[in-house]
């Protein structure tokens, strides 16, 4: 099993110490011959900011490979999905158990996510340093 996640992409722009790479994230069935007729086949373009000390070796339009450790991917999934889901479910269950209506419990559950995502927003610089990408020419 691979210990890194890699995607090919094209450099969109280069600034001081930062390279923006455009990757096309596609579903597993997008390469299928009948994918154009199927609604489940999809692809999305994403821009990834990659910190790079030596940007002089890259050019806009160049094809590169962007990669990160699987542990970074796991951390990102936990922060973006697992923790908020657990908070939501625990809050709703606690509210319903304490006698509140299901509608009020659902609203409180959604409201509890606001401070969580605000904290993620304000910790963006710290998370950016922790969840890093590397770039190499293809």
- pLDDT, tens digit (0-9, with 9 covering 90-100), for 73-132: 899 899 999 999 999 999 999 999 999 999 999 999 999 999 999 999 999 889 888 888
- Classify 99 in phi/psi space as left (phi over 0), alpha (psi -120 to 50) or beta: left
Pick from 23, 49, 8: nearest CA to 131: 49
- For residue 32, what pLDDT is reported? 66
Cα–Cα distance for residue pair 137/86, rounded to 1 Å: 40
62 within 8 A of 10, measured Cβ to Cβ: yes
pTM (global) more than 0.75? no
Measured between alpha carbons, how far is 52 from 44 in angstroms, rounded to an integer? 24
3-state secondary structure 63-96: EEEEEEEHHHHHHHHHHHHHHHHHHHHHHHHHHH
Residue 11 near residue 17, CB atoms below 8 Å: no
Highest mean pLDDT out of 1-15, 39-53, 107-121: 107-121
């Amino acid at each position: 099993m691979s210990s890194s996640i890699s995607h090919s992409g094209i450099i969109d722009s280069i600034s001081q110490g930062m390279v923006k790479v455009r990757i096309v994230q596609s579903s597993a069935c997008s390469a299928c011959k009948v994918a154009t007729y199927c609604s489940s086949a999809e692809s999305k373009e994403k821009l990834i900011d990659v910190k790079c000390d030596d940007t002089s070796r890259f050019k806009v339009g160049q094809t590169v490979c962007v990669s990160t450790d699987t542990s970074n991917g796991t951390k990102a999934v936990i922060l973006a999905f697992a923790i908020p889901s657990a908070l939501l479910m625990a809050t709703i269950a606690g509210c319903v158990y304490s006698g509140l209506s299901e509608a009020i419990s659902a609203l409180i559950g959604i409201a509890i996510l606001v401070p969580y995502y605000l904290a993620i927003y304000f910790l963006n610089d710290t998370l950016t340093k922790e969840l890093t990408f590397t770039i190499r020419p293809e």
